[in-house]
Amino acid sequence: MKLIINGGKALNGEIKLQGSKNAATKMMVASLLTDEECIFENFPQIGDVEITAEFFRSIGSEININGSIAVLKTSEIKNFKVESLGRVNRIPILTLGPLLARFGKAQVPFLGGDKIGNRPVDIHLTALKALGAQIETQENSFLVSIPNGLKGAKINFRYPSVGATENAIFAAVLAKGRTTIKNAAVEPEIIDLIEMLQNMGAIIGLGTDRTIYIDGVKKLGGVRRKVMPDRNEAASFACLAAANKGNKIKIKEAIHNHLITFLNEFRRVGGEYRVENDGIIFWRSNGLSAIELETDTHPGFMTDWQQPFAILLTQADGISIIHETVYDNRFSYVKDLNFMGANIKVFSKCLGELPCRFNGEGQYHSAVISGLTPLSGKNIKVPDLRAGMAHLTAALIAQGESVIEGVEEIDRGYERIDERLKNLGADINRII
């Protein structure tokens, strides 16, 4: 599937955020913890949710999706083995907790997802082992059992991994006794998940210094909940608003509190915004100027925001620097941007101040962007989801025609992106 974009059009108007991909898929996993019905509103219609629904059905879930309402019910876990079904995302490993709690054993395929660097699962496995899991590594999967049941434990993460935090929470809510997770991730999607689990009957809370504590309960019940708006979409559209010369874009349902760090960098680079009751308006009046920024775990500048922000920085006057400290290989999109006229060089040295796990490891995780560079339309192929959105943003502000191939990657995380951008005035067509 391809998108043909005739770039350089003035974009303005309103765009409503979809439900968050990274919240919705985890809410689906939470629904496996109960045999009762869970109803989700504002459910995003995206590829990652379809992949997740497909394998959930194979383990026994009944799933009905009608527009933006999804109803999930897993009366019984019928199959402890999660098949990869040809397409795998990051979610199967998160089902270990629910499957173990309800079935006593589980088998999940190795992870799929984006090609954004080395993505080990050691922190997930350490947490599960602490909670009583025995893990056997097979050719393409993990086979996990709990000979003595799931038992609460004290866990101290070497790094605040989002997925490992979620995994430990899922395994601990129905475990016997208290679990404490230190150095846990506290992203808004995780806080939202904690709220949802509380509504299902869990005892779970936040302590100081990234500590999450959980007192296991015997049973969880159903829930009705709205999926939170996608803060990654918000950042993508805000960057588009400022990169495309001065037209206002109102992002409906954008939540100020989820974007605090983003908004500061946005203002530093020369973007302007106004927070309203039902969303945030983004624009720019003057030229943009170069800045340096570093990605980090929440509440830092999110790694998923750096790709759209890099497009903005190609339109800023001077030398900007991005130090990526979350993933070791998240600049794969740079080659295509340079092909379109950008001037970006990547370095393996840490060009920043934050402590970084990639220091001295040789991965290209810092970028120097020299601006301002006009971009011109080209034929490009999407390497991964967020990079794909960066390509799309670049094509929208570039002069001339771009052809973007591999749109399925963008569709994994962005709902009907072409239609929604058309409403802002984009000249964009999908070729199936």
Residues found near ligand EPU in the complex (CB under 6 A): 21-22, 90, 114, 118-124, 159, 161-164, 185, 187, 302-304, 326-327, 385-386, 413
Q: Kindly state the tokens that stand for 300.
A: 């830092």
Question: Which has the closest alpha carbon to 227: 256, 279, 189, 272?
Answer: 189
State the minimum distance, in angstroms, from the CB of residue 373 to ligand EPU: 26
State the minimum distance, in angstroms, from the CB of residue 296 to ligand EPU: 10
State the minimum distance, in angstroms, from the CB of residue 108 to ligand EPU: 14
Q: Which is nearer to ligand EPU, 123 or 212 (CB)?
A: 123
Does the N-terminal peptide bond of residue 111 adopt cis geometry, omega within 30 degrees of 0?
no
The CA-CA-CA angle for residues 326, 405, 328, to 5°, reads: 15
Which residue minimizes CB distance to ligand EPU?
163
State the minimum distance, in angstroms, from the CB of residue 283 to ligand EPU: 26
Q: Which is nearer to ligand EPU, 158 or 345 (CB)?
A: 158
User: Distance of CA 352 to CAs 259, 296, 321, 335, 365, Å?
Assistant: 22, 11, 8, 22, 11
State the minimum distance, in angstroms, from the CB of residue 96 to ligand EPU: 13
Q: Which is nearer to ligand EPU, 25 or 74 (CB)?
A: 25
State the minimum distance, in angstroms, from the CB of residue 219 to ligand EPU: 27
CA 202, CA 214: separation in Å to the nearest integer? 8
Q: Kindly state the tokens that stand for 348.
A: 């393996």
Write the DSSP symbol of residue 384.
S
Judge whether 114 counts as a catalytic residue.
yes
Q: Kindly state the tokens that stand for 211.
A: 């500590």
List the strands of the sheet with 13-16, edge to edge: 13-16, 249-252, 279-283, 272-276
Instruction: For 199-240, list the strands marked E by DSSP.
Output: 203-207, 211-215, 223-226
- Sign, CA dihedral 265-329-368-7, equals negative
User: Distance of CA 94 to CAs 110, 223, 297, 375, 411, Å?
Assistant: 11, 19, 19, 40, 22
Q: Which is nearer to ligand EPU, 116 or 426 (CB)?
A: 116
Q: Which is nearer to ligand EPU, 23 or 263 (CB)?
A: 23
Q: Is 240 helix (H, G, I), strand (E, B) or coil?
A: helix
User: Distance of CA 183 to CAs 17, 30, 164, Å?
Assistant: 30, 22, 11
Q: Is 207 helix (H, G, I), strand (E, B) or coil?
A: strand
Q: What's at 400, amino acid-wise?
A: G
User: How far does Cα 144 stand from its chain's mean position?
Assistant: 26
- Which of 114, 304, 328, 336 is an active site residue? 114
State the minimum distance, in angstroms, from the CB of residue 218 to ligand EPU: 28
State the Cα torsion 31-35-40-43 to the nearest 10°.
60
State the minimum distance, in angstroms, from the CB of residue 158 to ligand EPU: 8
Q: Which is nearer to ligand EPU, 118 or 156 (CB)?
A: 118
CA 90, CA 190: separation in Å to the nearest integer? 15
Q: Which is nearer to ligand EPU, 162 or 251 (CB)?
A: 162
Q: Which is nearer to ligand EPU, 162 or 173 (CB)?
A: 162
**φ and ψ at 309, to 5 degrees?**
-70, -35
User: Which residues are the active-site residues?
Assistant: 114
